[in-house]
Amino acid sequence: MMRFNTLVRNPADWMTGAHPERGAVLTSRIRLARNLRRHPFPGWAKREQRAEAFSLLRPAVEALPAMKDAFSQELSDLSSVQKQVLVERHLASREHAARGDGSGIVIERRQTFSFMLNEEDHLRMQAIRPGLQLQATFEALSALDTALESSLEFAFDPTLGYLTTCPTNLGTGLRASAMLHLPGLVLGDQIGQVLQAVGKIGLAVRGLYGEGTESLGNLYQISNQSTLGESEETIIRHLERVIAQVAHHEQNAREKLLEDDPEMVADKIGRAYGVLRHAHIIDSKEALNHLSLLRLGGSVGIFPASTAPLCDSLLMEIQPAHLQHHTGRKLSPEERDSIRAKIIRERLQNHPSPDKSNPSPAETGPDDGSATPSDDS
Amino acid sequence: MKKCDFCDSKATVFLTQLVDGQTKKVCLCDQCAQERGVTDPTGFSLADLILGGIAAAAAATQSGEGPPPPQGSGKKCPACGFTMEDLHRVRRFGCAECYTAFRDEIGPMLRGMHRGPSHVGKVPAGLAALHVKHQRLQDLRGRLEQAIASENYEEAAGIRDEIKALGE
């Protein structure tokens, strides 16, 4: 059985540069909700009923070939910091991390697949991949879902589809989402318009960090809301098209910024670099916002292309639970701010200085195919 | 002081979400935010909160205002004992059977929530044949109604035979 430290020692596949181009779309994530037909939903089940469901779910998931040598634990056997690390890595939901007895998690070695057992639903399975590839991510996860059907009987109704604890997930039980980095739209003051347009067509947009539509680090998540009345393919095609358009707008916004005011862009990125490289005390908010600019620098040619994946893994590493796991003890907020600064300084030690001789948004190429709206009519 | 939308405590979490082009806002206190998982930026949907409101409205119509409901409240899921009042309280169902027990109540609730009223996606392999039969039956029943409405009795009889042959 894989140990926790082994699991989290390496960054997830989707966090590192496994994907050749890293532009506006950081990750694609698919979540499917499933329930056992003959067992009450976890929130309504009695303790022993929940345990019974768990005893069916866990071996079924562990037996999947893709989950060979996976990390598998009951939540009551994990510390609160460990659970929080999983939340920060997007491998467990915050709601799930609050659970204990009778709930569990099974995570594939490369952290691509994760199965939450007795979450709000009996089974919440998830797959994450880098870049914009929702359809491929869905297909990979759907294959595991199909494989599970041979050992588990899922609750399904011909009219309502897969039956879920909350009616907002009925039908496909599918939540598809992408994480986007949109500094160009934020700096160009167009973010409000774009997000409003996305909201208007029935998709949900939220800042990844921070409250409401305000976002730290210029990171946003776009996902589907409706799960009933459309097929998985339709939901995903629609979402991918919209996300590709947003990425395209982001690219245009970057180009325009560099054309209109290259000094301002170089100044912002240079200052962010200076602070991150030399700060000794930095809170999460300041770090996220500067890392966002550093990442932008990587995609407009002020920094090498390797800067973006570096920023992406730093985004995780500087979160509170990761810091505490890293140091092996509970930290006060003040201690966290110094350790956060130290980690960032170390990681940037050999990072080249800004080169503003030829900033160009085209330098990163076609932006993993997401820079232009996909032609899938 | 801004009050929590769910209890009267001081609101500390302010949530704004764009849904169908409308800005929806919810204010919550620390505790309600925790309970509802609102602090999780990845897994939270405002729809879950609003659903509470819909269920509350449904409960209000059931309790005597407006036209009398077809069935009184107090109805229980035969499998798990869940009631509509429980739905209002926890905004989640008790088990898969609840969807059969409360089918009439659920229909209107889904209207504002989803693109359509019925599932058109993936079907578990073991149920695929059953699902095809279900859709075929629905289709035949629709055609039967049309045939009867247009007094095409010969066709109606044929369709009725087909339905019988499917075992219904």
* CATH classification at residue A65: 3.30.590.10
Q: Residue B147: is its pLDDT beyond 80?
A: yes
On the CB side of A220, how many CA atoms lie within 13 Å of its CA? 31
The torsion of the CA quartet A213, A214, A218, A220, rounded to 10 degrees, works out to -20
Q: Is residue A214 part of a domain?
A: no
Asked if A195 reaches chain B (Cβ–Cβ under 8 Å), the answer is yes
Tokens of B148: 């009867």
CA of B86 to nearest chain A CA: how many angstroms apart? 10
Over the stretch B40-84, which tens digit does the pLDDT of each residue have? Answer: 544 445 555 555 444 444 444 444 443 334 344 678 999 999 998
For β-strands B13-19 and A219-224, DSSP reports them as unpaired
Q: Give the least confident one: A272-286, B10-24, B153-167.
A: B10-24
Asked if B106 reaches chain A (Cβ–Cβ under 8 Å), the answer is yes
Q: Is residue A291 part of a domain?
A: yes
Number of domains in chain A: 1
CA of B157 to nearest chain A CA: how many angstroms apart? 26
Q: Residue B20: is its pLDDT beyond 60?
A: no
On the CB side of B101, how many CA atoms lie within 13 Å of its CA? 19
Q: Is residue A78 part of a domain?
A: yes
* Burial tier of A214 (Cβ tally within 10 Å: 0-12, 13-18, 19+): exposed
Please state, rounded to an integer, the average pLDDT across all residues of chain A. 90
Over the stretch A325-374, which tens digit does the pLDDT of each residue have? Answer: 999 999 999 999 999 999 999 999 999 999 867 666 654 444 444 434 44
Contact (CB, 8 A) for A82 and A4: yes
Q: Is residue A35 part of a domain?
A: yes
Q: Residue A273: is its pLDDT beyond 90?
A: yes
Residue numbers in A near B45 (CB within 8 A): 168, 204, 225
Asked if A158 reaches chain B (Cβ–Cβ under 8 Å), the answer is yes
Q: Residue B14: is its pLDDT beyond 90?
A: no
Q: Is residue A242 part of a domain?
A: no
